[in-house]
Every structure is written in structure tokens, then in C-alpha cells.
């Protein structure tokens, strides 16, 4: 029997590599698995040999201890792999296919899935609509920062790459299709980015950089990225974005005015989420900062895309309200300016095929935009620590040496 090594969350600030056993086509009991999901048969699924699996900022929230994630939870929801075993009920996906796995787990049968709302599938998480691999309170589906992983509902979910050799040549771009490229693109679409738009992106982490690149693809005339981290802002400038350092210059409107001549943009994208900090050199965590600031700088009638993660349970929050996701948001300002807000998980399947074609035909360079950096599975704990310190990199785990050897 093949072994299966994986990245496990152990306690705040610590992940480790464990042997979790080779997967099969059933969801067995384990850390974080919803009791109602234990024993769930998945003959509609496949086993993948993981080619690449990425570390995400959403994983980092758990690793910092900012969620109720249990010790031993296997991490990883950004998965690209080769099919090595297919379930009895799989008809169209074949052994040997190289595929991208949407981070949302979706059955393809419920009302939400049939309406393309695969981010709120009603059949995969007994607690509430929506699920993901390796994530707290998402049903307990085992994460894919591992050598092998089981993926359910394969015929419906998986995006097959048309040519394996071509795909491996562009694997650092294609690995972003499982989450951050569609998430950034969804943020830009939700914000109403179109040719000529002026766009503000809050946050220069990987999702923020993906949103900025997506805004460029959609024809934005100016993309402004704001952050407190100068290294990440340098990365944003590397592919043509304007930047605002909110640690050095806390007045966002003034900085936008220096760039555009007016203190507002057509639309804005929140790629920070609930661990936002206040603007300025010595301010601490203030989780409503980004939401309130983008309302201030977005024109009346504008749209706000909010792919940044907000949670209903944050044990490390700065106050009691924030521990339950209650933030001091200036909703009256948004109402007065007739803003449109779009929140929630990204329905990856709505976008991933189009973005794949953009990559394969040279119209998108997402790996360059987010500074994709290959590491081994054994390097994952160190990469988590480096990412936590604000490294301007998107860490891509290559568990079998498949990328390096290609």
C-alpha cells in the first residue's frame, strides 16, 4: 500500500508532515470530519496523485489559531493532480487525466449547483451550504496538501487539461485555477470591472495580486493596490499596478487622488478579510478597516467585490463582537452611496475553464503576478512560517518532484 504524507495543522503556529494513509473512495472519520459525513461512499470520485498543491492565505488563518480548526486537520484546498484511480460511477474522467480541482466541493445535483452556485452546494456539508477540502467547518473533506487525495463528484467538478505536456509547461499558472485566480477574477467581476475602470484592490497578498491581474485582463485603465507590506507592493508594481503604502500614508483617499486626480475609484475589491489592520505605522488589528475604507473611496453607485474571508467564529478576535463575525461596518455610508456588495466563496467552476484558456493561449501570466515559488512537501512548515511573516510569494508544493523533473 502506498504511503500518503500530508501537511497537518497541530496547534496555533505549528504544522507538521504526517503519514495519513492512502485514500480510498469513502470519507472516513478523522479530525474535523462532520459525524454526518463519516462513512460517506464516493464511487463518483477519483484518487489523484497530487502534482501541485498551494498554500493559501485562508489556510494561514487556521494556522494562526484564528478559527476553531481541530488539531490534526489535514490542510489544502488548492489541488492539481493526475487521476490514478476512478470510482465505479465515474464515466468521463479517465486514468491519466491531468486535472484542476475547484476548491469548492459540489455535487452537481442540488438546486444551487444547477444554478452555477457551486460555492453553496447543499449536499456536501451537513452544517450549512458550501464546502471545501481541508477547511474548518466545511464538512471534513480531507485536504490536498498531500501526496494523494480523494476528490468526489469527479465528472461534474474536475477541469481536465486538454494536453498534458502543454499543461506541465504552464503548470505554475494552471495550479492557480483551483482557487486564487478564479477568486481574484470573481472579485473583479463582482466589483464591475470593465474596460476603462479605475480599480482599488485592498491587499497585495496572492489573492489581491490575482484580483489586480484579473482587473487588467478585464480592461481596467488603472489598478491601484494598497497594503501595509512594502515587499508585496513591490510585487504589485512588477506587473504594472499603482500602489499605496498604507503604513506610511494612512489616508487612502489622498493617495488615490495623487494618482487619479480625484479621491475615488469606480470600484473596489477587498482581498484582506477579517484579519485587517488599521492604516498607519502603529495601528493594530481592526477588522472593519478595509470594508469601511473601500466604501469611502468608491464612487456613488459603484460596486464592491469582497472575496476576502470573513468568519462566524474567530477565537483570536480583538473584541467579543468580532469573535462572532460582528464588525463595526458603516453600512449607512454604503447605503447612502448606493453601493452593491458581493460576498462569499467564489464559484470556481463559473470561471476556471475560461481562465484556463487564457493561460494556455498566453493571455494571462498569473504565476508571474503572484510570484509562484515551488517547494517540496517537507518544506511546507517553513513556508507557512515565512508566509506568516508577509513573504511576497505564492508557495506551490510539489510533493512528488513532478514539476522540477519535467
DSSP string, 197-224: -EEEEE--SHHHHHHHHHHHHTT-SEEE
> Alpha-carbon distance 31 to 65, whole Å?
15
Given CATH 3.90.180.10, say whether it is the number of domain 5-179+347-405: yes
Q: Taken in order 139, 144, 147, 150, is the CA torsion positive or negative?
A: positive
Closest CA to 56 of 230, 225, 149, 178: 178
> Residue-wise pLDDT tens for the chain (406 aa)?
678 999 999 999 999 999 999 999 999 999 999 999 999 999 999 999 999 999 999 999 999 999 999 999 999 999 999 999 999 999 999 999 999 999 999 999 999 999 999 999 999 999 999 999 999 999 999 999 999 999 999 999 999 999 999 999 999 999 999 999 999 999 999 999 999 999 999 999 999 999 999 999 999 999 999 999 999 999 999 999 999 999 999 999 999 999 999 999 999 999 999 999 999 988 889 999 999 999 999 999 999 999 999 988 888 888 898 998 899 999 999 999 999 999 999 999 999 999 999 999 999 999 999 999 999 999 999 999 999 999 999 999 999 999 975 5
% helix, strand, coil for the chain, step of 5: 30, 25, 45
Q: Taken in order 86, 92, 6, 133, is the CA torsion positive or negative?
A: negative
Closest CA to 70 of 38, 40, 34, 17: 34
Domain ranges of the chain: 5-179+347-405, 180-343
Q: Do domains 5-179+347-405 and 180-343 have the same CATH topology?
A: no
Residues of 369-405 as b/e, b for ≥16 C-beta within 10 angstroms?
bbbbbbbebebbbebbebbeeebbbbbbbbbbebbee
> Alpha-carbon distance 109 to 167, whole Å?
29
pLDDT of 2 reads: 78
CATH code at 180-343: 3.40.50.720
Identify any residues that bridge with 151 across adjacent strands, giving them in sequence order: 46
Identify any residues that bridge with 225 across adjacent strands, giving them in sequence order: 201, 243
Q: How many helices (H) and strands (E) does the chain have?
A: 15, 18
The reply to whether the predicted model has a pTM over 0.75 is yes
Amino acid at each position: 500500500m502506498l504511503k500518503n504524507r500530508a501537511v497537518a495543522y497541530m496547534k496555533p503556529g505549528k504544522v507538521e508532515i504526517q503519514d495519513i494513509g492512502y485514500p480510498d473512495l469513502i470519507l472516513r472519520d478523522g479530525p474535523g470530519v462532520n459525524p454526518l459525513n463519516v462513512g460517506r461512499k464516493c464511487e463518483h470520485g477519483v484518487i489523484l496523485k497530487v502534482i501541485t498543491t498551494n498554500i493559501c492565505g485562508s489556510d494561514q488563518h487556521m494556522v494562526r489559531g484564528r478559527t476553531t480548526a481541530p488539531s490534526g486537520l489535514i490542510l489544502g484546498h488548492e489541488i492539481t493532480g493526475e487521476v490514478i484511480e476512478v470510482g465505479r460511477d465515474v464515466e468521463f474522467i479517465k486514468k491519466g487525466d491531468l486535472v484542476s480541482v475547484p476548491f469548492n466541493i459540489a455535487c452537481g445535483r442540488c438546486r444551487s449547483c444547477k444554478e452555477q452556485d457551486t460555492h453553496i452546494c447543499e449536499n456536501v456539508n451537513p452544517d450549512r451550504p458550501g464546502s471545501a477540502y481541508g477547511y474548518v467547518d466545511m464538512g471534513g473533506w480531507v485536504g490536498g496538501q498531500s501526496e494523494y487525495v480523494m476528490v468526489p463528484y469527479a465528472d461534474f467538478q474536475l477541469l481536465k487539461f486538454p494536453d498534458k505536456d502543454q499543461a506541465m509547461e504552464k503548470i505554475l499558472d494552471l495550479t492557480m485555477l483551483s482557487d486564487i485566480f478564479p477568486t481574484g477574477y470573481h472579485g473583479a467581476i463582482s466589483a464591475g470591472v470593465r474596460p476603462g475602470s479605475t480599480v482599488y484592490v485592498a491587499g497585495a497578498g496572492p489573492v489581491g495580486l490575482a484580483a489586480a491581474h484579473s482587473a487588467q485582463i478585464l480592461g481596467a485603465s488603472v489598478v491601484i493596490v494598497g497594503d501595509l507590506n512594502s515587499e508585496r507592493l513591490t510585487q504589485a508594481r512588477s506587473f504594472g499596478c499603482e500602489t499605496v503604502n498604507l503604513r506610511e500614508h494612512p489616508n487612502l483617499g489622498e493617495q488615490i487622488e495623487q494618482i487619479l486626480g480625484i479621491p475615488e475609484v469606480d470600484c473596489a475589491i477587498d482581498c484582506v478579510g477579517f484579519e485587517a489592520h488599521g492604516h498607519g505605522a502603529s495601528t493594530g488589528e481592526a477588522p472593519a478597516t478595509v470594508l469601511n475604507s473601500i466604501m469611502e473611496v468608491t464612487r456613488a453607485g459603484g460596486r464592491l467585490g469582497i472575496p476576502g474571508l470573513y468568519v462566524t467564529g474567530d477565537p483570536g478576535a480583538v473584541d467579543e463582537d468580532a469573535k462572532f463575525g460582528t464588525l463595526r461596518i458603516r453600512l449607512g455610508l454604503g447605503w447612502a452611496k448606493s453601493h452593491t456588495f458581493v460576498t462569499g466563496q467564489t464559484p470556481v467552476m463559473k470561471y476556471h475553464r475560461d481562465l484556463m484558456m487564457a493561460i494556455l493561449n498566453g493571455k494571462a501570466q498569473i504565476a508571474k503576478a503572484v510570484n509562484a515559488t515551488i517547494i517540496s512537501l517537507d518544506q511546507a512548515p517553513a513556508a507557512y512560517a515565512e508566509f506568516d511573516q508577509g513573504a511576497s510569494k505564492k508557495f506551490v508544493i510539489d510533493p512528488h518532484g513532478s514539476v522540477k523533473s519535467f
